[in-house]
Amino acid sequence: MPYRLVVLLTSITLAVIFAAVGLYSRWQIDTRYAIEREAETAHLHNVYVVQDEVLAQRTLALGYSISANEDIQRLLYEGGRAVRAEGGGQGGDRAAEIRNELFHVMARQWNDLHTGHELEHMNFLLPGITAFLRMNQPDRFGDMQADVHPMLVAVEHDHKARSGFEIGHAYAGICGGVVVTYMPKPGGVPHVVGVLEIGFDMTERLEKISRQLNVGIAIVLKSANVDENMWPTSRPLQKIGEEYVLAATRPEAAEWIASKLLPAAARQPRGHDVQWRGRSYQVVAFALDDYHGRLDPAHPPVGEVLIWRDVTDRLAQLAGERNSVLLGTLVGYIVMQIFMLFILSVSRDEWERRLRLNTETIEKLSRHNTLLLEAAGEGILGVDDSGNITFINRAALEMIGFRRDDVMGRNAHETFHHSHPDGSFYPIEECPLGKTMADGEVREVEEALIRQDGSNFPVTMTITPVVEQGKRLGAVVVFHDITEQRNRQEALMRMATTDSLTGASNRRHFLELLDAELARQRRHGGLASLLMTDLDFFKRVNDTHGHAAGDVVLANFVRVVRQTVRKSDVIGRMGGEEFAILLPGDGISGAQELAERLRHTFETNPVQIGNLIITVTVSIGIADLRADDMTADAPLRRADEALYVAKESGRNRTAVYDPPTMKRIVESDA
């Protein structure tokens, strides 16, 4: 081939290669930023949701603690009687005396919680969801709240504590409700004497998240919901058009709403850009639901949550990266073109020889370095003094699920160690890598690393500083995946606590949980029930269809139970076809309702094995847990006796522990 043609083809090829490299580099920059935005949207939403749940659990924990106070139980009981005796509503003089006594009982605790723990709202309600005493507004009482607080109505109805976002007469925010019970006579049956509602300061909560993540956060409510439910004096101060700003950590949100820069609210979190006063912002918006919305996703949300971050500098950085890629590609092409022409013009043979020698040398060095790193089964990476990754081996990449190009030059902590396993933020100052970079100490720890898909896995990690001439230049991290070891430990724990056939708790573990619940009742009171179940004529199944079919029936029963009960309820296999179910927080009436539903569901969900359909029924005995039960034997005995009544009454039915009924059946058998 003519020399000039070789030069021409080589120049064209070089131009195409550099153009492709430049376009691919720009595409990588844009793709990485798009992924970064999506991840940031999900992260901000998850942080808010987790913080919401933490605050909700905090309200319930405080509610349980306060509602266990015997003086409060007594005063609510007496207050309810006084209000009813004095004509209802706000009551009269006696109700006022009790309300004043209750206020003084709670005054010190309220002041401590309000000033030191961000508690904003505490409302004692009588049956029928009638306000009896608001600690933050003691002069506002007697109003009916059933129409604006469906969550509290549900709490009073089934005695199950709940929490979530609500808009009431005097408060809008995350609140929790727990029932308050009182036993007028020793040994009697506890009565529900009211509901305790607790809410925390939303503004302070948002400020904490804002400072932690360096973002702006606002909660915006639809004016129709606020105007319909809240008293005028309690409504948020800032109303913009058809929306109220309940809380905001920065002023931009109100300005954007007033300028109509934000799109219509959507239920799922989504991110979009806002240009404002020469700055660029990434805004994440998602729906805010009250109790109705949490029950029915089709119900319109009461507002939305806005989280935004200033991304002006980041966008400028991206523009600079794109320009650098373009300029670097152009300069590289020109330099390479000149160099190529010069070398070819001097000596084509020398150029080919040197190119060959250089290529062989580079390949040899590359193979040598690659062999050293890739031969190791442990994950190995190195970072510079800024914590940016300078090398990483294949084992490490496989463990964290990244490509090499995705991590080189990136900060190691921010890439796969930025959060705890529960999703909370992990500051670099607390990270063992950050500590070693700061003090130069060697550390051997167990940590959790985050894969590219967001999942985490446990590792043992050794961090060794790299020091030259007394100066720390970086560190080397060696880590090993211990997931299999952890799984073995968890499997051993499951084997020790669960029944291998059905997955239910085994007898020993169930009795431990029952003893723990009895101890909790002795300390704090409350309700709990126990169901004892027996599959009717189960021996016929084994005798007729074989033990394998019987095993399928047992497993099906446990599956039906898990679909029927709550996550907090516990099922244990006591032996053979007998199972016990612990229902914390449920009294006898709730336990009866659940038992009937379980009995009906199991009867109408037969087991199908091939063409064979096996229908089995269940008998259920119901007993409550009592404060004077010192061991698990007492409630188990009562539940067993109730089960005996159910079986002697014809099976496929439920029975509540009742000594007179038990005595009649025993006498009739005799």
pLDDT exceeds cutoff 70 at 300: yes
Statement to judge: residues 186 and 281 lie in one domain: no
Residue 497 CB contacts under 8 Å (≥ 6 apart), including other chains: 505, 506, 508, 509
In a domain, 323, yes or no: no
State what percent of residues in the chain have pLDDT above 70.
Answer: 94
Statement to judge: residues 411 and 479 lie in one domain: yes
CATH number of the domain at 292, please: 3.30.450
Statement to judge: residues 418 and 557 lie in one domain: no
In a domain, 33, yes or no: no
Statement to judge: residues 396 and 541 lie in one domain: no
Give the span between the Cα atoms of 552 and 535, in whole angstroms: 13
Rounded to the nearest angstrom, the gap between the alpha carbon of residue 658 and the centroid of all alpha carbons in its chain is 42
Statement to judge: residues 103 and 248 lie in one domain: no
> pLDDT-derived band of residue 615, with 50, 70 and 90 as boundaries?
very high
Statement to judge: residues 162 and 242 lie in one domain: no
In a domain, 315, yes or no: no
What is the pLDDT, as a whole number, of residue 638? 95
Give the span between the Cα atoms of 66 and 89, in whole angstroms: 24
Residue pair 373/365 in contact by the 8 Å Cβ criterion: no
**177, two tokens:** 């409700």
Q: Which of 258, 279, 310 is the last residue of a domain?
A: 310
Give the span between the Cα atoms of 635 and 648, in whole angstroms: 20
In a domain, 32, yes or no: no
pLDDT exceeds cutoff 90 at 3: no
Statement to judge: residues 482 and 517 lie in one domain: no
What is the pLDDT, as a whole number, of residue 180? 95
Statement to judge: residues 120 and 262 lie in one domain: no
The closest of 559, 547, 545, 561 to 611, measured between CA atoms, is: 545
CATH number of the domain at 632, please: 3.30.70.270
Question: What backbone phi and psi angles, to 5 degrees, belong to 488?
Answer: -65, -40
Tens of pLDDT, residue by residue over 148-184, are 889 999 999 999 999 999 998 888 999 999 999 998 8
Statement to judge: residues 485 and 541 lie in one domain: no
**82, two tokens:** 């006084």
Question: Strand 243-248 and strand 471-481: pairing?
Answer: unpaired
Q: What's the domain count of the chain? A: 4
What is the pLDDT, as a whole number, of residue 294? 86
Statement to judge: residues 472 and 568 lie in one domain: no
Q: Which of 492, 522, 545 is the last residue of a domain?
A: 492
What is the pLDDT, as a whole number, of residue 276? 92
- Ramachandran sector of residue 599 (left: φ over 0; alpha: ψ -120 to 50; beta: rest): alpha
Average pLDDT, the chain: 87
Statement to judge: residues 527 and 651 lie in one domain: yes
Tens of pLDDT, residue by residue over 228-277, are 889 998 888 888 988 999 889 998 888 888 888 887 767 788 888 899 98
The closest of 636, 639, 631, 577 to 602, measured between CA atoms, is: 577
Statement to judge: residues 483 and 583 lie in one domain: no
The closest of 120, 141, 122, 131 to 236, measured between CA atoms, is: 120
Instruction: Give Cα separations from 626 to 50, 67, 116, 468 (angstroms).
Output: 35, 18, 37, 70
What is the pLDDT, as a whole number, of residue 543? 92
Residue 284 pairs with which residues in a beta bridge?
271, 307
For 492, what's the count of Cα atoms within 13 Å in the CB-facing half-sphere?
A: 5
Q: Which of 162, 181, 199 is the last residue of a domain?
A: 199
pLDDT exceeds cutoff 90 at 531: yes
pTM listed for this prediction: 0.49
CATH number of the domain at 151, please: 3.30.450.20
In a domain, 253, yes or no: yes
Question: What's the CA angle centered on 201, arms 195 and 205, to 5 degrees?
Answer: 125
pLDDT exceeds cutoff 80 at 187: no
Domain membership of residue 190 as a residue range: 68-199
In terms of DSSP H, where are the helices of 275-347? 291-295, 312-346
In a domain, 337, yes or no: no
